[in-house]
């Protein structure tokens, strides 16, 4: 939702998005700061990136795959990131130590719903062997805004089809931030197990 409102965080710049889960408008700078903090925290809490020199990023033309490339190259200039087009996944470069799977918060919710309706209580893991998912805490719409307004990304991303998109949107309308609650639950369970 774009509007002429001011950012409710820095109180200076114009809003690019109303964050209903915070009850505040955010400008592009504050949105980026929230995004960076969220991703970095997941990376450090789960030791997703821990001294690796070469990491591969699965590229499937989703908004999350675009931002994975922009953001990770920006904050880890010392790491060599290679782009692995999804259709070549069978041929992962051997020198790669970890692989970024570009999944966002909606993918996390979708996976949970799918499993739940199949009678399983299961989450999309943040870390699974050499596969890491540092962006599962970020709503896809925020990623799209950052790509357009911060990264000036001209790439054409595809709309990701999800079976439960509509349902999850409705749930979020009833209770803002419910997907974040799901992620919080996952983190709590992980901490208990650890
Ligand atoms: Zn701001």
Residue 131 to residue 127: CA distance in whole angstroms: 6
Residue-level pLDDT at 91: 72
Distance 45 CA to ligand 1 centre (A): 26
Distance 163 CA to ligand 1 centre (A): 34
CB 144 within 8 A of CB 156: no
Residue-level pLDDT at 113: 96
Distance 10 CA to ligand 1 centre (A): 4
Distance 21 CA to ligand 1 centre (A): 16
Residue-level pLDDT at 3: 54
Tracing tokens 């259709």 back to the chain, one arrives at 87
Burial 113-125 (b: 16+ CB within 10 A, else e): beeeeeeeeebbb
Tell me the H-state helices in the chain. Answer: 28-45, 63-75, 105-117, 140-149, 165-174, 178-193
Distance 37 CA to ligand 1 centre (A): 15
Residue-level pLDDT at 125: 96
Residue 71 to residue 132: CA distance in whole angstroms: 15
| Structural domain contains residue 110 | yes
Residue-level pLDDT at 191: 74
Distance 11 CA to ligand 1 centre (A): 6
Distance 14 CA to ligand 1 centre (A): 7
Distance 16 CA to ligand 1 centre (A): 9
Tracing tokens 């001209």 back to the chain, one arrives at 154
Residue-level pLDDT at 115: 97
Residue-level pLDDT at 34: 98
Residue-level pLDDT at 88: 75
Distance 125 CA to ligand 1 centre (A): 32
Distance 36 CA to ligand 1 centre (A): 14
Chunked into runs of 10 residues, the chain (194 residues) has average pLDDT values of 81 96 97 98 95 96 97 97 85 85 97 96 95 97 97 92 92 93 93 64
| Structural domain contains residue 16 | no
Burial 139-178 (b: 16+ CB within 10 A, else e): bbebbbbbbebbbebeeebeebebebeeebeebbeeeebe
Range of the domain at 112: 29-193
Distance 19 CA to ligand 1 centre (A): 12
Residues 6+ apart with CB under 8 A from 69: 57, 59, 81, 83
Reported as half-sphere exposure (CB side, CA atoms, 13 A), residue 152 has a value of 0
| Structural domain contains residue 8 | no
**Which domain CATH number covers 118?**
3.40.50.620
Distance 41 CA to ligand 1 centre (A): 20
**Per the structure, how many domains does the chain have?**
1
| Structural domain contains residue 12 | no
| Structural domain contains residue 176 | yes
């Amino acid at each position: 939702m774009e509007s002429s409102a001011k950012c409710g965080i820095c109180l200076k710049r114009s809003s690019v998005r109303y964050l209903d889960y915070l009850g505040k408008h955010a400008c592009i700078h504050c949105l980026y700061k929230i995004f960076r903090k969220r991703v970095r925290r997941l990376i450090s809490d789960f030791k997703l990136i821990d001294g690796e020199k070469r990491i591969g990023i699965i590229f499937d033309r989703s908004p999350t795959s675009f931002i994975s490339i922009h953001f990770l190259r920006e904050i880890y200039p010392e790491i060599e990131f290679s782009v692995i087009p999804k259709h070549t996944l069978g041929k992962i470069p051997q020198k790669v130590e970890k692989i970024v799977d570009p999944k966002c918060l909606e993918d996390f919710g979708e996976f949970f719903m799918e499993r739940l309706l199949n009678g399983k209580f299961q989450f999309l893991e943040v870390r699974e062997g050499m596969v890491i998912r540092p962006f599962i805490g970020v709503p896809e719409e925020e990623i799209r805004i950052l790509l357009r307004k911060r990264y000036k990304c001209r790439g054409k991303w595809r709309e990701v089809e999800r079976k439960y998109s509509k349902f999850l949107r409705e749930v979020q309308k009833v209770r803002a931030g419910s997907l974040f609650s799901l992620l919080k639950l996952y983190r709590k369970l992980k901490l208990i197990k650890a």
